[in-house]
Amino acid sequence: MAIGKMPYWRSASRAATHAALMHRFANPARFLKIARPLTGWLFWPGLLLILIGSACGLFVTPADYLQGDTVRILYIHVPAAWLGMGGWSGIAIAALIQLVWRHPLAAIAGRAIAAPGALFTAICLMTGSIWGRPTWGTWWEWDGRMTSMLVLLFLYLGYIALANASARDGQGGVSNVTAIFGLVGAVNIPIINRSVVWWNSLHQGPSITLRGSSIDGSLLWPLGLTLLGFSLWFGAIVLMRMRAILAHNKVEARMQRLARG
Amino acid sequence: MKAKHQRLMLALAALVAIIGAGLLAVSALKDEAAYFYTPGDVKTKGVEPGKNIRLGGMVVKGSLKRAADGVTIRFDVTDGKATVPATFSGIAPDLFKEGSGVVAEGSFDPKGTFVATNLLAKHDERYMPRELEGMSYNESTHEMKAER
């Protein structure tokens, strides 16, 4: 950092009052103070919920009237789909904060979200494929829901490649070009959500809507556990990755100082 | 206007433009992106015999008949607006049954029967234990009621 240039978080705290809370966390030390204990608080309860939810989904709930035991994969498939889409929503929000408020943590958050987001999207596609074979009679069909979800996976891979290709040394966050890509890619999220409503598709319509759920309560409750559990885990992974990027930045800065002598 | 507000307006304008473009593209795709034709589509738009399409709808209750050769089945597909007869030779998925959804790949023969080369079962968005099977279901409120 150039001599005489104030650190971002100090100059910003004077200028903006409406975003005071957001800018508090522009200081990495302050962010880390909260992120460090929070990681464990998200990780372990998340793991516990995933294990309890999966066990209940496997052994406690009744089988479906039509699909039998095959239906139990939904306790993994649905949280994976939700987090794949939620991840990109997070990337888009981080991108907006990065582009408008120039918040340094937003750029780091975008990069931290990308890998687990891509992972959960891949899990959603794989479990969907495994589920489709015994129920629909096919591993894969190019219907609206499946195709738009595959596009989401490719968007994640493109985002990661772009972030790596245009990374700025020692900053760890994604470049502005990558952030713009993250914002543009968000168009796909409502398309995935509405794909089964707009177009007739092999994938069934939405089960859980604002009006209620067409999944009977006796099958539904473990989904709440795994949904919350995987979400907490997602948060823990993002915090871990943000901390790793910040630690890497610190090492980089120290190495550069040492090299300069 | 401060630079930050300028960036915010720019980002929001870009977002609106992108979403508008996305919606335009999607609405243009509307029919092209459909995964299958319904019997109603076939009736209104017309599909020439021999053209490979997918036909989707419900298998009419009581229409499923097995031919003497043991592998050929005949059934009617409906979407509530029109009904189309179909035949298929081969192994149908487990979930293929009367009163349930089906997506058939194949083409129409000159007599208007759909000759399927592959069958996919389509199920709806309801999941429930076996004890609740046969209860009536209100699609708009998601409510289930015991029949009788």
Across the interface, do B96 and A218 touch by the CB < 8 Å criterion? no
Quote the pLDDT of residue A106: 93
Could you tell me if A143 and A202 are in contact, meaning their C-beta atoms sit under 8 angstroms apart?
A: yes
Q: Which of A224, A220, A231, A187 is nearest to A82 (CA)?
A: A231
Chain B residues within an 8 Å CB radius of A220 = 127
B96 CB neighbours in chain A (<8 A) are 137
Query: Which residues in chain B touch residue A138, judged by CB atoms under 8 angstroms apart?
Result: 120
Are A211 and B22 within 8 A, CB to CB? no
How many Cα neighbours within 13 Å face the side chain of A87?
34
Residue A23: per-residue pLDDT: 67
Residue B32 near chain A (CB below 8 Å):
no
Per-residue pLDDT, A24: 66
From the list B112, B117, B124, B111, the residue with the least C-alpha distance to B59 is B124
Give pLDDT tens digits for B60-104. 998 999 888 888 999 999 998 899 999 999 888 888 888 889 999
Measure the CA dihedral A231/A237/A240/A241, to 10°: -120
| In B75-116, alpha helices (H) | none
- Mean pLDDT over each residue of chain B, to the nearest integer: 85
pLDDT tens track for A154-181: 999 999 999 999 877 667 889 999 999 9
In this prediction, the answer to ipTM > 0.90 reads no
Which 3 state secondary structure label does DSSP give A3?
coil
Longest dimension (CA), chain B: 81
Which residues in chain A are closer than 8 Å to B34, comparing Cβ atoms?
Answer: 144, 199-200
Residue B145 has a pLDDT of 62
Q: What is the pLDDT of residues B22-39, one digit of tens each?
A: 888 888 877 777 889 999
| CA–CA gap between residue B92 and residue B7 (Å, rounded) | 57
Query: Do the chains contact at A219 and B129, CB–CB below 8 Å?
Result: yes
Contact B142 A214 (CB under 8 A): yes
Chain B residue numbers with beta carbons less than 8 Å from the beta carbon of A102 are 4
Residue A2 is predicted with a pLDDT of: 45
Query: Encoding tokens for residue B25?
Result: 């593209």
Lowest mean pLDDT among A21-25, A29-33, A213-217: A21-25
pLDDT of residue B136: 62
Give the pLDDT of residue A17: 52
Query: What is the pLDDT confidence band of residue A112, given thresholds at 50, 70 and 90?
Result: very high
CB contacts of B36 in chain A (<8 Å) are 200, 202
3-state helix/strand/coil string of chain A: CCCCCCCHHHHHHHHCCCCHHHHHCCCHHHHHHHHHHHHHHHHHHHHHHHHHHHHHHHHCCCCECCCEHHHHHHHHHHHHHHHHHHHHHHHHHHHHHHHHHCCHHHHHHHHHHHHHHHHHHHHHHHHHHHHHHHHCCCCCCCCHHHHHHHHHHHHHHHHHHHHHHCCCCCCCCCCHHHHHHHHHHCCHHHHHHHHHHHCCCCCCCCCEECCEECECHHHHHHHHHHHHHHHHHHHHHHHHHHHHHHHHHHHHHHHHHHHHC
**What is each CA distance from A252 to A154, A163, A244, A260, B113, in whole angstroms?**
31, 18, 12, 12, 71
Cβ contact A214–B126 (<8 Å): yes
Q: What tens digit of pLDDT does each residue of A228-259 get?
A: 999 999 999 999 999 999 999 889 889 989 99
Q: Average pLDDT, stretch A27-35?
A: 87
Measured between CB atoms, which of B33, B94, B127 is closest to A216?
B127
Nearest-CA distance from B67 to chain A in Å?
Answer: 22
For residue A12, the model assigns a pLDDT of 47
Percent of chain B at pLDDT > 90 equals 32
- The residues with which B15 forms a beta bridge, in sequence order, are none
Closest alpha carbon to A150 in A126, A180, A115 = A126
Residue B21: alpha-carbon gap to chain centroid: 27
* Strand B101-108 with B114-122, pairing: antiparallel
Question: What's the average model confidence in pLDDT over B127-147?
Answer: 67
Amino acid residing at A26: A
Judged by CB atoms closer than 8 Å, whether chains meet at A62 and B129 is answered as: yes
Q: Give Dmax (Cα) for chain A.
A: 72
Residue B66: both structure tokens together: 């097995």
Q: How confident is the model at residue A118 (pLDDT cuts 50, 70, 90)?
A: very high
Q: What is the pLDDT of residue A14?
A: 46
Contact assignment for A144 to B35 by CB distance below 8 Å: yes
> Tens digit of pLDDT for each residue in A6-23?
555 454 444 445 556 666
Query: Residues A201-208: what's their mean pLDDT?
Result: 90
Within the 49-88 window of chain B, which residues sit less than 8 Å (CB to CB) from chain A? 56
Tokens 């992120």 sit on residue: A35
Strands B114-122 and B83-89: parallel
pLDDT tens-place string over residues A53-100: 999 999 999 999 888 899 999 999 999 999 999 999 999 999 999 999
- Per the confidence metrics, is the pTM higher than 0.90? no
Whether the CB of B133 is below 8 Å from some CB of chain A: the reply is yes
B130 Cβ under 8 Å from any chain A Cβ: yes
